[in-house]
Amino acid sequence: MPEIRTERDVGTLAQLSLSRIMERVESPRVGRALFWGTVFTVSFSLFALLLVSVTYLFVAGVGIWGVDIPVAWGVAIASFVWWIGIGHAGTLISAVLLVFRQEWRASINRLAEAMTLFAVACAGLYPILHLGRPGLFYWLIPYPNTMGIWPQFRSPLVFDVFAISTYAVTSLLFWYMALIPDLAKYRDRAQSRRAFFIYGVVCLGWRGTHAQWRALESSALILAAIATPLVVSVHSIVGFDFAASIVPGWHSTIFPPYFVAGAVFSGMAMVLTLVIPLRRVFSWEAFITLDHLDKIAKVMLASGLIVAYGYMAEIFTAYTAGNQFEKYVVENRMHGPYAAIFWTVMICNVVATQALWSPTVRRSKASLFGLSIVINIGMWLERYMIVVTSLHRDFLPSSWGMYSPTFWDWSTLAGTAGLFLSLLFLFVRFLPAIAVFELGQLKSKETG
């Protein structure tokens, strides 16, 4: 493939020595303090806003949000679906691409996997905050209790508890396991006793012997194969939350696959949003090359087309199934009070995505970054549309109503973004954000 030279020359993986690679990966820990300090301060301030919002929510109850009857699920559930969807790209990159031996994943898998963990952390907050009585969240867990009752295991909301906790735990284990050898590198290069001690403990005494590498590679391969169904199962189950109900606009068999495609689509967009600035600031262009961006963009285009198919299928069934309520939901989305959201979703997720057919766009950082922001917004609005427009006008016109988010809805959403970014920047600074040992392995394979 012809190399398009639009980048500053930072060398290629083959040109850089192992110790230079290590220095580059380590650069956020030692350099760029002003940049890091600024972004972390902003992120952490947003996180503080989350703490304020959640405290007020715990004191005053969910009435501070815009939710009411008929729209009892609002920004909170839309954001829950959005965050959990973002996580899926990380698992796709780290697990599915490992199983298919796609070596290009080496430089972005750890960052993507970290993104998964932090997105799942944000997503996991929402259902609990939305419970109304968050202190009783443990009722969702089956434990023998004096009331003698159990959770309702036929309910997708209970599926969610199991699916998301399994997803969080498996992702954490998978991520941590592959982090161990690189934590040992940080231990060996530690400048202070404190850093040596902390990295020394968390790397569990890794020495890089053949037996250790063998055990790591075998377990990572099998674990990746086992994590692969999670890419499909978690968001399918989130889709069931909607599809298993009888609400028009939700009660549809297309939901699980359409949600999974949407998850990969928005997750890849988030990977681009994060990776494009980070590779520039920390000079990671040699590791995360334009080829990487190009490949992510292709995955985004493919999943975006499946999402577009999902939209069409919804409209098609609404008009052919002979159910007046289904048909009304679609017409109400297109022409009703929330029509602006529908058309914005179509422009962001269907029209704008078609730009990715062009190789020039796929290899232009500015266009990809802009497009990734557009898609992130479009996918959030899509979930908002699914949640709100289906509920606000269902079967009986007498029970129709409107929904509008309050300040606290928005502050909680901004706050979770703060939590996500704070965790991400802490990760980038204090942990090896790029899998150095995998780069070494890749380099060794390339050179012969």
Partner 1 sequence: MKSEKHAAPIFGFAAEFDTEEKLMTALRKARDAGHSKIEVCSPYPLKGLSDGTDREVRFFSATALAAISVGALLGYALPYYTSVLDYPLNVGNRPLNSVPAFLIFAIELAILAAAGSLTGLFLWRSRLFRLFHPVTRLSEFKRASVDRFFLVLETSEGLFDERDTRAWLEQLSPGKVYEIER
**Residues that bind partner 1 in the complex, under the rule CB under 8 A:** 17-19, 22, 142, 148-154, 159, 162-163, 165-166, 169-170, 173-174, 177, 180-181, 184-185, 187-189, 200-201, 204-219, 221-223, 226-227, 229-230, 233, 237, 436-438, 440-441, 444-445
Q: How many CB atoms lie within 10 A of CB 210?
A: 7
Rounded to 5°, the CA angle 339-340-346 comes to 90
Give min distance, CB of 91 to partner 1, in A.
12
Distance CA 88, CA 83 (A): 9
Nearest to 435 by CA among 182, 96, 114, 174: 182
Closest by CA to 328, choosing from 378, 392, 384, 380, is 392
Amino acid identity for residue 268 in this structure? M
Q: What is the DSSP letter of 103?
A: G
Residues 6 or more apart whose CB falls under 8 angstroms from that of 263 comprise: 84, 85, 86, 87, 88, 89, 235
> Where do we find the tokens 């929330």?
338
Q: How far is the CB of 126 from partner 1 (least distance, A)?
A: 20
Helix axes 75-91, 109-130, angle to 10 degrees: 160
Comparing CB distances to partner 1, the nearer of 4 and 222 is 222
d(CA 420, CA 415) in angstroms, rounded, equals: 9
Nearer to partner 1, 168 or 296 (CB): 168
Closest CB to partner 1 among residues 222, 321: 222
69 vs 149 by CB, closer to partner 1: 149
Nearest partner of 166 among 261, 233, 99, judged by Cα: 233
Of 8 and 210, the one with the shorter C-beta distance to partner 1 is 210
Task: Return the H-helix or E-strand segment holding 383.
Answer: helix 365-392
Query: Given the complex with partner 1, which of 155 and 283 has the nearer CB atom?
Result: 155
**Residue type (1 letter), 389:** T
Q: CB nearer to partner 1: give 40 or 174.
A: 174
Closest CB to partner 1 among 54 and 161?
Answer: 161
To the nearest whole angstrom, how small is the minimum distance from the Cβ of residue 394 to partner 1? 19
Residue 381 tokens, joined: 């609005």
CB of 441 to partner 1, least distance (A): 4
Which residue, 63 or 142, has its beta carbon nearer to partner 1?
142
Report the C-alpha gap between 163 and 237 in whole angstroms: 7
Nearer to partner 1, 244 or 315 (CB): 244
Closest of 313, 349, 316, 336 to residue 389, by C-alpha: 336
DSSP line for 332-371: HHHHSTTHHHHHHHIIIIIIGGGGGGSHHHHT-HHHHHHH
Q: Do residues 228 and 96 lie in contact, with contact meaning Cβ atoms separated by under 8 Å?
A: yes
CB of residue 439 vs partner 1: minimum separation in angstroms? 8
Shortest separation between residue 440's beta carbon and partner 1, angstroms: 4
Nearest approach in angstroms of CB 282 to partner 1 is: 18
Per-residue DSSP letters for 38-83?
HHHHHHHHHHHHHHHHHHHHHHH-GGGSS--SS--S-HHHHHHHHH
Phi (first) and psi of residue 102, to 5 degrees: -85, 100
Nearest-approach distance from CB 139 to partner 1, in angstroms: 13
Q: How far is the CB of 226 from partner 1 (least distance, A)?
A: 5
CB of 25 to partner 1, least distance (A): 11
Nearer to partner 1, 101 or 210 (CB): 210
Least distance in angstroms from the C-beta of 442 to partner 1: 9
